[in-house]
Amino acid sequence: MAEVSATQEPALKRVIGPKLLLFFVVGDIIGTGVYALTGQVAGRVGGALWLPFLLAFVVAFMTAFSYLELVGKYPKAAGAALYTNRAFRIPFLTFMVAFAVMCSGITSASSAAIAFADTYLKEFVDLPGWLIAPLFIVGLAAINFRGVSESVKTNVVLTCIEMSGLLIIIGAGVWAVLNGSGDAGRLVEIDTADQTALVAITSATSLAFFAMVGFEDSVNMAEECRDPVRIFPKAMLWGMVVAATIYVLVSLTSSLLVPADELAAAKSDALLKVLDVGAPGFPREVFSAIGLFAVINSALINMLMASRLLYGMSNERIIPKVLGTVHPLRRTPWVSIVFTSLIAIVLVSTVDISVLGGTTALLLLVVFAIVNVAVLVLRRERVDHPHFRAPTIIPALAAVFCLYLVSPLSGRPARDYAIAAILLSVGILLWLVNWFLMRSSETGDRTPAPR
């Protein structure tokens, strides 16, 4: 255990090396996104559903260059919130960026908890979702509290399992095509029934982008990585390439074997539909079991990220310092873990999580646009160590693409904007509460001690 003074918090434990970080990135991106989104993307774009996943990867890959430069300069937890604070020095903007990122992580984890309780587990045992989902969050909190080493090693196992499910889909598709099944003509079909081809593609891309997010979560783990400046570039970029390759292959397989309208009608069971066509007789229970592990992994990584985000913001004195409290034995930010877990339990118990996916992607695209601008602003700030530097044109283009996917020009439904407005209103209210708490804390710190 690290020795600390009576007034200093112990540091987080640095246990993540390059291989564990690579699995963290791959596991966080793959998560439950492609399992749930294949049918929805097909409903927006038609048979060419591989194209939105590829375009989403390009925009995310360009944004990753900004994150890599910034995590190299500032290898600390808090990620986008830290970069926003350093670049613009506007506490309100910093808080809202952090709120948006935290919402994305907790909402994704809550969605996974509900999927675990109400979808995959019911293939084996029928238990009430209102009981299982909160217990699921509590179990994640226990792993998170136990230690980052245990958490990321668990992630390695779960990532391998969830990747096996997607490889089964790809393998079934290859087998079916080699045996004469499949229609290659569907790969270039774009649904233009009530919209232009451009709107169909960009609308589907804005949705598929949600499946590509997750790479940005890894920067919140910087203080628990060994030599983060050196290992981040290869781990993040290779992790994104691996995830995107699997996504494109899965989408190609899906379109070859099943018409787009049938994929859209199947919704979250789209990949099971593909499996039934490509490998009839394959036990659905096996794929459902893999789905169970996929949602566990997605939820675990998102709760890890959310707790480290609050820890990092506390260290930057943006939120109350109590949220940065580190357990002296486990060396994990236990107060932040408890706080984010309680929010997730409230969400799974009271809110219809299914409507928040598009809104989460919308908020993250705004955050990515801000980060892409922040990296250019922070070029004026030098650090005394070498780090990755992105070509200037890449963050500039990435910011433009992110803002386009945020705008109504991309065909985004009005519901996403309405829900985003509600969430941001909650964020503003929380910022006011936080402002009063921080002001009271500063006043108390300046009060002279009694003699």
Tens-place pLDDT, residues 49-77: 999 999 999 999 999 999 999 999 998 87
Spatial distance between the Cα atoms of 249 and 49, rounded to a whole number of angstroms: 11
- Counting as low any pLDDT under 70, the low residues of the chain are 1-9, 31-33, 268, 351-357, 442-451
Structure tokens of 330? 């486990």
Q: Within 10 Å of residue 428's Cβ, how many Cβ atoms?
A: 13
Specify the DSSP class assigned to residue 219: G
* SS3 label, residue 16: strand
Q: Which domains does the chain have, with CATH numbers?
A: 18-436 (1.20.1740.10)
* Element housing 81 (H / E): helix 79-88
How many other β-carbons are positioned within 10 Å of the β-carbon of residue 74? 20
The number of beta carbons lying within 10 Å of the beta carbon of residue 33 is 25
Q: What's the first-to-final CA gap in the chain, in angstroms?
A: 36
Q: Which two tokens stand for residue 25?
A: 């990135």
- The helix/strand/coil state of 450 is coil
**Per-residue pLDDT at 445:** 58
Give the phi and the psi of residue 225 in degrees, each rounded to 5. Answer: -100, 145
SS3 391: coil
Contact 315, 111 (CB under 8 A): no
Residue 450: predicted pLDDT: 46
pLDDT score for 355:
67
Task: Please report the beta strands in 5-115, taking only residues with DSSP state E, as ranges in sequence order.
Answer: none
Q: Give CA–CA dist 74/187, Å, rounded.
A: 43
Helix (H, G, I), strand (E, B) or coil at 281: coil
Q: If you write DSSP's letter for every residue of 96-158 in order, what string do you get?
A: HHHHHHHHHHHHHHHHHHHHIIIIIGGGT----HHHHHHHHHHHHHHHHHH-HHHHHHHHHHH
**Spatial distance between the Cα atoms of 174 and 181, rounded to a whole number of angstroms:** 9
Q: Which amino acid is at 161?
A: I
Type of residue found at 430: L
Going by the DSSP 8-state scheme, the letter that residue 225 receives in this structure is B
- The answer for residues whose C-beta is within 8 angstroms of residue 306's C-beta and 6 or more apart is 102, 105, 106, 109, 336, 340
